[in-house]
């Protein structure tokens, strides 16, 4: 089968398209999956650039997110049958509840390997069913970005109808956070540096938008939109550069779900503690979280926003698109 | 001012329209409210018929639910100003958190008195603001029925988007449960004995309906609508007559919020315990719950369903309408 | 290896001591465990008598609870090494969070098999480490009874220091509930029909005891012990015969964890709903729950109460002891 | 009556002992309390030094914490009777649930006033009963420090038996956190710069101690005490100077309750987000929280640690003792 390996920590240049033997037939609780599509996260670039070289070796297969169809199952498998459409959970061994110590993540080159390949064998415990209304390309966008957004909204305390959420920018997590927050009945305020993108966010359901380039004190704009109180929840993706304003834009006793640190680790500042805020760090989620989210996605026929779809031979181009940060929504690889 | 008193535990016949002195001016944390509208709950008839005569005396002013405008405030009041539109919380002294032991309920004739009057003095702690988009008549429907429905959906564990809720019939709580469950992103299955009423429930957002007269084994119909699994949550209003079927219609580890016992106390039966269900009894809610619900009602411009509006002189006719159980939605009294 | 099979649904008479081939070497995530001790639950008798014959076949290996040592591991195992002391979780496939639909339980004769044998192969995901201070005999008592007691105390809402718990009788779950409730800082009221047993419950930490034979209205005795308010939590093991009194002995808005139905399914009655109680049904718990409980057991060096220890050849005698209901604490089988 | 006023934001020098008329008789829900003892928090010095001068005026009566006896009650009071022993909750108007926007705190010189006086009138909703076993001096230590410690342990998720908590130093909150964590069945690791103080912490129940002067990398010492994993919960009182080490001493997915910032606002750092930690800021708690905590204190006969007791005339000396930071436990004023 064909697959990609990150042979050296040199970013896109370190990537190689390889041909290797097919995985052995599944046994026990194993499932053989034909990967029909995968999607890319910014994390792929971090890993390929060696940002975590202290904890991992090169020569891994990148991409945590994929979707496909069950080709064969081991003799003890009860959750799936050949022909079922499936996705793999981002965090291996995290089946439900709190994250266990032996959890690992697909595409990190340890025991587990990523999805940039034609076929993969995984335990049935790591797989979830694809919502019927989604294509493989759409399903491939969910494992990391959508589940991160879902848990940012409800991991520590579920968002309630009528509450207000602030989402930042147009990355995959932020767009999913917007779409999912609407399913919780929340009001969504979205920021971007581009009026064209803000227009698309409104089409996706944003109740109010702020162009943070035109309005550098976007925190004050948020307060103005919330009768001076601030939002109930911020889905923080920016990190140090945005955090102080996120704090200022959050209501007393509100909370901030931190899902990314594009600009480094944030410092909460005095206001944070004076006003009783709380912070939760989101590390994607469990297989059970994934299944619960998929019920919502299925019921509401939520459609992931896809920026672009590339062929399996064009993964380097897809990664360059990701690197450009010009995308709106997810970048997908079609494997066949 | 004019008001109604239940002078004797003789149901509607025991009710008298009286003229009494106005309340004294508000002082301290007190607020004087002009009651512009009130609404009726089945509980009013129970109280007027003496169902709780062991715990209360006659000669009380009925009706827990009302809405109006602040006329004057005491010197310490900070939450409201004259001219603010307000509703009173159903459970007095229950401001937030768990129900305190000294909680009491409006319209029970103890210290507190009901809303079938022109003016009332209450502590600012018992009042909440009316969502802007609601008329007084609409606001008057919320305190008991809507808050009961809200807490039936989220008191013990918030309903999540994608989950399925079963609501029973077309009483006030059930219709609010349908409308509110939609705000949580849930799927709603509704039952009624009338196709005409089911049609209206669909207009209000029900995803599926069952005519329990035509389909006496409505629990099996629920299973058929949920891939054999049952619903995540039942908002149980029927009691003994419906409970066994409610249990059968609930998924493994699901839950039942009991808000009424029209047909007496239910017995869960073996299935209940074999399948890991849980039961929560709902006793309306706190002022803080009320405020949180109102944010959702305000954001989504939810409109309460009003069956009929009566003038203040026509309270007996309004109560007969309630007694008939022919209503669809809430029965409201316009005070002026 | 030697093992017991329930060959026919004829209770103890249907049990046979057999000799069968050893399990194959563990592979993948499998672990080969030498079972050094097992313990018996009342559920064993129900299964052997065919109480669940509609859902299972005879010829199964009984006993869900066992403890032993890892003999060998498959090539992917990361949680355990040979020589580690382990117990198996009661509910197979329930690793954390809510109970998944494909959960199954040891000793039910489906895919999984029980512990009355010398060696067993299980997935590493099903095993937990034995707290250091416990013998194999003591560890073997934990999987079903202790974890049921633990979740009865904290599954839906953790017991808080200062709250009061009622435990009933001297079965395995009730004694564990007493011991564990003490670790939560709770006050424990215990009932029994024997003063001698009550004396032992006091030695184990019961703050107050009631002889329900001498005081048939033990609910009134509970109220007297709680300033007329009732307990915060009842760990209900009796079922129909005790439930109405359990309801009467519970405070307003309190809760009842139902873990058994020795006398059939209970009916909550009017008081239940008037007073805002809630019921949760406990179905043992997840592997993660088990690990969390074990930390408490380890820190406090909690010692399970063992009624008696039988040799592997004496399982029928041990089951008769269980059947007699004269035991105080757990009945254990030593396998070697 | 005699009372103290902070006449100018000049710290202890700005304090004056005054004589003013007694409060008027209580009416409605008001309660007249004779304050028998009060206690001091570091916050008193901050307020008297004008740290919050942007939000408050001088001339206030300091000290949020006091205990005494009910002298008289208004005509609607139901929770207390003359002769009852009571404490006032720290946060006014916060009766239960989430902190409401109109919550205020005693001793801030707004509507509410502090406890350094002989008599005070408060709403019955702001008062809680004193646990029977406590003296007035002991009770006066609870409102701010003990409730802060309690909520640091259980506000966002109750501490479970078997978990490990890190407490820092020997201030009031830290000592209460140690004592209360023991009631939850937790293991407590405590730090101090003095071996003599560490000895006393062990006597109070600390399971392990670290002298952070002798062991500047106390975070590594914590890891060594927890098998390399870190604690489940840190009760953080230090702020910027300690936070990075607190993060390093916390286990994956653990949490930090921030209750103070002696050394300024902390910055979580990269490790915080990589390891999935969460932060909650504690702002004391509601009256209901206070009542729930008092049940635990009452059941376990927990005795607050009192550093020293001063007469009412010696408040300046008591404040100097507080300023010295040499105290171990709470500094109390006896009013009569």
Q: Are strands A30-40 and D250-258 parallel, antiparallel or unpaired?
A: unpaired
Q: How far is C317 from chain A (nearest CA, A)?
A: 35
Q: How far is D278 from chain A (nearest CA, A)?
A: 4
For B124-149, b/e burial (b = at least 16 CB within 10 A) is bbbbbbbbeebbbbbbbbbbbbbbbb
Chain D: residue whose CA lies nearest to A229:
D101
* Residue A247 · residue A266 · CB < 8 Å: no
Give the closest of D27, D28, D97 to B96, CB-based: D97
Sign of the C-alpha dihedral computed for residues C218, C220, C225 and C230 taken in this order: positive
Give the closest of C252, C278, C281 to B276, CB-based: C281
**Of residues A267 and A313, more confidently modeled:** A313
Q: Which residues in A have their CB inside 8 Å of a CB on C? A: 27-30, 76, 78-79, 93-98, 100, 102, 111, 123, 125, 286, 288-289
Q: What is the pLDDT of residue C138?
A: 98
Asked whether residue D15 is assigned to any structural domain, the reply reads yes
Q: What is the pLDDT of residue A15?
A: 96
Chain D: residue whose CA lies nearest to A258:
D273
Q: What is the pLDDT of residue D68?
A: 98
Interface test with A, best of C28, C29, C96 (most A CBs within 10 A): C96
Spatial separation of the C-alpha atoms in residues C230 and A218, rounded to whole Å? 53
Q: Do C265 and B279 touch (CB under 8 A)?
A: no
- Touching subunits of A (3+ CB pairs, under 8 Å) are B, C, D
Considering chain A, what is the average pLDDT of its residues? 92
Contacts of D29 in chain B (CB under 8 A): 28-29, 123
Give the tens place of pLDDT for each residue, A150-165. Answer: 999 998 888 999 999 9
Spatial separation of the C-alpha atoms in residues B95 and D96, rounded to whole Å? 6
**Cβ neighbours for D313, distance < 8 A, ≥ 6 positions apart:** D17
* Residue B3 · residue B61 · CB < 8 Å: yes
Q: How far is C155 from chain B (nearest CA, A)?
A: 11
Q: Which residues in B have their CB inside 8 Å of a CB on C? A: 98-99, 101, 156, 229, 252-253, 258, 261, 264-270, 272-273, 275-283
As a residue count, chain B comes to 336
Interface test with D, best of A226, A268, A270, A286 (most D CBs within 10 A): A268
CA dihedral D210→D215→D220→D222, nearest 10 degrees, is: 0
Asked whether residue A72 is assigned to any structural domain, the reply reads yes
**pLDDT tier for residue D108 given thresholds of 50, 70 and 90:** low
Same domain? For B44 and B168 the reply is: no
Same domain? For C75 and C153 the reply is: no
**pLDDT tier for residue A238 given thresholds of 50, 70 and 90:** confident
Asked whether residue A293 is assigned to any structural domain, the reply reads no
**What is the rounded average pLDDT of the residues D129-136?**
98
Q: What is the pLDDT of residue A285?
A: 95
Give per-10-residue mean pLDDT for chain B (336 aa).
Answer: 95 96 93 97 91 84 96 95 97 93 72 86 96 98 97 92 96 96 98 96 98 97 97 89 89 90 58 79 94 98 98 98 92 96
Is the pLDDT at A270 greater than 60? The verdict is no
Write the DSSP string, C250-307.
EEEEEEEEE---TT-----HHHHHHTT-EEEE-----HHHHHHHHHHHHHTT--PPEE
For residue C100, what are its two tokens? 């998944």
For residue C31, what are its two tokens? 């672990």
**pLDDT tier for residue A90 given thresholds of 50, 70 and 90:** very high
C78: containing domain: 2-142+305-334
Is the pLDDT at A178 greater than 80? The verdict is yes
Give the closest of D161, D294, D299 to C187, CB-based: D299
Give the three-state DSSP class for D81: coil
For residue A17, what are its two tokens? 């398209």
Contacts of C28 in chain A (CB under 8 A): 27-30
Is the pLDDT at A258 greater than 60? The verdict is yes
Q: How far is C327 from chain B (nearest CA, A)?
A: 25
Q: What is the pLDDT of residue B238?
A: 75
**pLDDT tier for residue D107 given thresholds of 50, 70 and 90:** low
Sign of the C-alpha dihedral computed for residues D307, D308, D309 and D310 taken in this order: negative
Same domain? For A161 and A255 the reply is: yes
Contacts of D30 in chain B (CB under 8 A): 28
How many Cβ atoms sit within 10 Å of the Cβ of residue D228?
9
Same domain? For A330 and A234 the reply is: no
**Cβ neighbours for C228, distance < 8 A, ≥ 6 positions apart:** none
Same domain? For C187 and C266 the reply is: yes
Asked whether residue C291 is assigned to any structural domain, the reply reads no
Q: Do D96 and B95 touch (CB under 8 A)?
A: yes
Spatial separation of the C-alpha atoms in residues C7 and B326, rounded to whole Å? 60
Q: Do D111 and B76 touch (CB under 8 A)?
A: yes
Same domain? For B199 and B236 the reply is: yes
Spatial separation of the C-alpha atoms in residues C257 and B279, rounded to whole Å? 11
As a residue count, chain C comes to 336
Q: A172-183 and A147-154 are packed helices; what angle lies between their axes, rounded to 10 degrees?
A: 50
For residue C205, what are its two tokens? 């930490």
Give the tens place of pLDDT for each residue, C35-89. Answer: 999 999 988 999 999 988 887 888 899 999 999 999 999 998 999 999 999 999 9
Same domain? For B90 and B169 the reply is: no
**pLDDT tier for residue D51 given thresholds of 50, 70 and 90:** confident
* Residue C105 · residue C92 · CB < 8 Å: yes
**pLDDT tier for residue D105 given thresholds of 50, 70 and 90:** confident
Query: Which helix or strand (DSSP H or E) is residue D139 part of?
Result: helix D136-139
Highest-scoring range by mean pLDDT, C163-167, C278-282, D258-262: C163-167
- Touching subunits of C (3+ CB pairs, under 8 Å) are A, B, D
Q: Are strands D91-92 and D104-105 parallel, antiparallel or unpaired?
A: antiparallel
For A238-249, b/e burial (b = at least 16 CB within 10 A) is bbeebbbbbbbb
Q: What is the pLDDT of residue D267?
A: 61
Q: What is the pLDDT of residue D55?
A: 78
* Residue D23 · residue D32 · CB < 8 Å: yes
- Touching subunits of D (3+ CB pairs, under 8 Å) are A, B, C
Is the pLDDT at C288 greater than 80? The verdict is yes
**Of residues C112 and B70, more confidently modeled:** B70
C305 to B137, C10, C309: CA distances (angstroms): 63, 29, 11
Q: Do B265 and C261 touch (CB under 8 A)?
A: no
**Cβ neighbours for C254, distance < 8 A, ≥ 6 positions apart:** C230, C231, C232, C233, C234, C277, C278
Asked whether residue B181 is assigned to any structural domain, the reply reads yes
Q: Do A279 and D276 touch (CB under 8 A)?
A: no
Q: How far is A332 from chain B (nearest CA, A)?
A: 26
Give the tens place of pLDDT for each residue, A59-69. Answer: 899 999 999 99
Considering chain D, what is the average pLDDT of its residues? 92
Asked whether residue A90 is assigned to any structural domain, the reply reads yes
DSSP letter for A246, please: H
* Residue A26 · residue A73 · CB < 8 Å: yes
Same domain? For B118 and B151 the reply is: no
Q: Do B97 and D123 touch (CB under 8 A)?
A: no
Is the pLDDT at D152 greater than 80? The verdict is yes
Write the DSSP string, A266-293.
---HHHHHHTT-EEEE-----HHHHHHH
Give the tens place of pLDDT for each residue, D57-83. Answer: 888 999 999 999 999 999 989 999 999
How many Cβ atoms sit within 10 Å of the Cβ of residue A303?
14
**What is the rounded average pLDDT of the residues C256-260?**
87
pTM to 2 decimal places: 0.95
Contacts of C99 in chain B (CB under 8 A): 252-253, 276
**Of residues C277 and B271, more confidently modeled:** C277
**Cβ neighbours for A203, distance < 8 A, ≥ 6 positions apart:** none
Q: Do B78 and D30 touch (CB under 8 A)?
A: no
Give the closest of D253, D261, D279 to A279, CB-based: D279
Single out the residue of D31, D24, D63 nearest to residue D310, CA to CA: D63
Spatial separation of the C-alpha atoms in residues B277 and B256, rounded to whole Å? 8
Q: How far is C126 from chain B (nearest CA, A)?
A: 21
Give the three-state DSSP class for B244: helix
Contacts of B98 in chain D (CB under 8 A): 96, 288
Q: Do A265 and D267 touch (CB under 8 A)?
A: yes
For residue B245, what are its two tokens? 């079927």
Q: What is the pLDDT of residue C166?
A: 98
Contacts of C289 in chain A (CB under 8 A): 97
**What is the rounded average pLDDT of the residues D36-62?**
90
Q: How many CB pairs under 8 A join A and B?
A: 61
Q: How far is B93 from chain A (nearest CA, A)?
A: 23
* Residue D302 · residue D181 · CB < 8 Å: no
Contacts of C29 in chain A (CB under 8 A): 28-29, 123
Considering chain C, what is the average pLDDT of its residues? 92
Q: How far is C31 from chain B (nearest CA, A)?
A: 30
Q: What is the pLDDT of residue A263?
A: 55
For residue D216, what are its two tokens? 């500047």
Spatial separation of the C-alpha atoms in residues D99 and D90, rounded to whole Å? 12
CA dihedral C186→C189→C195→C196, nearest 10 degrees, is: -20
Chain B: residue whose CA lies nearest to A180:
B161
Spatial separation of the C-alpha atoms in residues A309 and A315, rounded to whole Å? 10
Residue owning tokens 């002889």? C211
What proportions of chain C, in percent to the nearest 5, are helix, strand and coil? 30, 30, 45
Same domain? For D136 and D18 the reply is: yes
Q: What is the pLDDT of residue A167?
A: 97
Q: Which residues in C have their CB inside 8 Å of a CB on D? A: 154, 158, 160-163, 180, 183-185, 187, 292-300
Give the tens place of pLDDT for each residue, A216-237. Answer: 999 999 999 999 999 999 999 8
Q: What is the pLDDT of residue B55?
A: 78
Residue B247 sits at φ, ψ, to 5 deg, of: -60, -45
DSSP letter for C146, please: I
Single out the residue of C47, C296, B1, C139 nearest to residue D159, CA to CA: C296
Query: How many domains would you assign to chain A?
Result: 2
Same domain? For C109 and C175 the reply is: no
Same domain? For D153 and D264 the reply is: yes
Q: Strand runs (DSSP E) across chain A, as ranges?
A: 2-6, 15-19, 30-40, 65-73, 85-88, 91-92, 104-105, 119-123, 127-129, 164-168, 187-192, 208-211, 231-236, 250-258, 278-281, 306-311, 330-334
Contacts of B269 in chain C (CB under 8 A): 265
Give the tens place of pLDDT for each residue, A271-309. Answer: 666 688 898 989 999 999 999 999 999 999 999 999 999
* Residue B308 · residue B327 · CB < 8 Å: yes
Interface test with D, best of B77, B113, B125, B294 (most D CBs within 10 A): B125
CA C49, chain centre distance (Å) = 19
**What is the rounded average pLDDT of the residues A120-146?**
97
Q: What is the pLDDT of residue C173?
A: 95
Same domain? For D13 and D137 the reply is: yes
Q: Which residues in A have their CB inside 8 Å of a CB on D? A: 98-99, 101, 156, 229, 252-253, 258, 261, 264-270, 272-273, 275-283
CA dihedral B296→B297→B299→B301, nearest 10 degrees, is: 160
**Cβ neighbours for A310, distance < 8 A, ≥ 6 positions apart:** A317, A318, A321, A331, A332, A333, A334
Q: Do B111 and D30 touch (CB under 8 A)?
A: no
CATH code of D82's domain: 3.90.180.10
CATH code of A199's domain: 3.40.50.720
Chain A: residue whose CA lies nearest to D236:
A273
Give the three-state DSSP class for A31: strand
Q: What is the pLDDT of residue A44?
A: 92
Task: Give CB contacts under 8 A, 24+ apart, made by C257-262.
Answer: C257/C151, C257/C152, C257/C153, C257/C155, C257/C156, C257/C233, C257/C281, C257/C282, C258/B273, C258/C282, C259/C148, C259/C149, C259/C152, C259/C173, C259/C235, C260/C42, C260/C171, C260/C173, C260/C236, C261/B270, C261/B273, C262/C42, C262/C237, C262/C238
Please tell me the number of Cα atoms within 13 Å of A62 on its side-chain side: 31
Asked whether residue D287 is assigned to any structural domain, the reply reads no
Q: Do D278 and A277 touch (CB under 8 A)?
A: no
Interface test with A, best of C76, C77, C93, C97 (most A CBs within 10 A): C97
Q: What percent of chain A has pLDDT over 90?
A: 78
Give the closest of A160, A296, A299 to B158, CB-based: A160
**Cβ neighbours for D172, distance < 8 A, ≥ 6 positions apart:** D39, D41, D141, D144, D145, D146, D329, D330
Asked whether residue D31 is assigned to any structural domain, the reply reads yes
Highest-scoring range by mean pLDDT, A93-107, B136-150, C229-243, D227-241: B136-150
* Residue A117 · residue A5 · CB < 8 Å: no
Q: Strand runs (DSSP E) across chain B, as ranges?
A: 2-6, 15-19, 30-40, 65-73, 85-88, 91-92, 104-105, 119-123, 127-129, 164-168, 187-192, 208-211, 231-236, 250-258, 278-281, 306-311, 330-334
């Amino acid at each position: 089968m064909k697959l990609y390996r990150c042979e050296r920590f040199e970013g896109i240049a370190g990537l190689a398209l390889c041909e290797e033997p097919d995985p052995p037939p599944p046994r026990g609780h194993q499932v053989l999956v034909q990967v029909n599509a995968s999607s890319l996260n910014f994390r792929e670039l971090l890993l390929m650039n060696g940002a975590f070289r202290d904890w991992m070796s090169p020569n891994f297969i990148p991409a945590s997110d994929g979707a496909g169809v069950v080709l064969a199952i081991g003799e003890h498998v009860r959750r799936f049958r050949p022909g079922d459409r499936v996705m793999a959970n981002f965090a291996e061994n995290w089946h439900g509840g709190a994250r266990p110590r032996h959890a690992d993540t697909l595409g990190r080159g340890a025991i587990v390997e990523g999805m940039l390949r034609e076929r993969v064998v995984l335990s049935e415990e790591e797989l979830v069913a694809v919502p019927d209304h989604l294509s493989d390309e759409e399903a491939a966008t969910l494992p990391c970005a959508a589940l991160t957004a879902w848990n940012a909204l409800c991991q520590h305390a579920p968002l309630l109808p009528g509450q207000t959420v602030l989402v930042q920018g147009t990355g995959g997590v932020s767009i999913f956070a917007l779409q999912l927050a609407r399913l919780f009945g929340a009001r969504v305020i979205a920021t971007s540096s581009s009026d064209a993108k803000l227009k698309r966010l409104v089409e996706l359901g944003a109740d109010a938008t702020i162009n943070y380039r035109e309005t550098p004190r976007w925190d004050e704009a948020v307060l103005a939109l919330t009768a001076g109180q601030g939002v109930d929840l911020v889905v923080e993706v920016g990190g140090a550069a945005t955090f102080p304003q996120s704090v200022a834009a959050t209501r007393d006793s509100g909370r901030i779900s931190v899902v990314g640190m594009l600009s480094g680790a944030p410092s909460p500042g005095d206001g944070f503690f004076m006003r009783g805020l709380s912070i939760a760090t989101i590390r994607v989620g469990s297989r059970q979280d994934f299944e619960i989210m998929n019920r919502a996605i299925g019921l509401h026929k939520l459609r992931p926003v896809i920026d672009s779809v590339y062929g399996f031979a064009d993964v380097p181009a897809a990664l360059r698109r990701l690197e450009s940060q010009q995308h709106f929504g997810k970048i997908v690889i079609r494997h066949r």
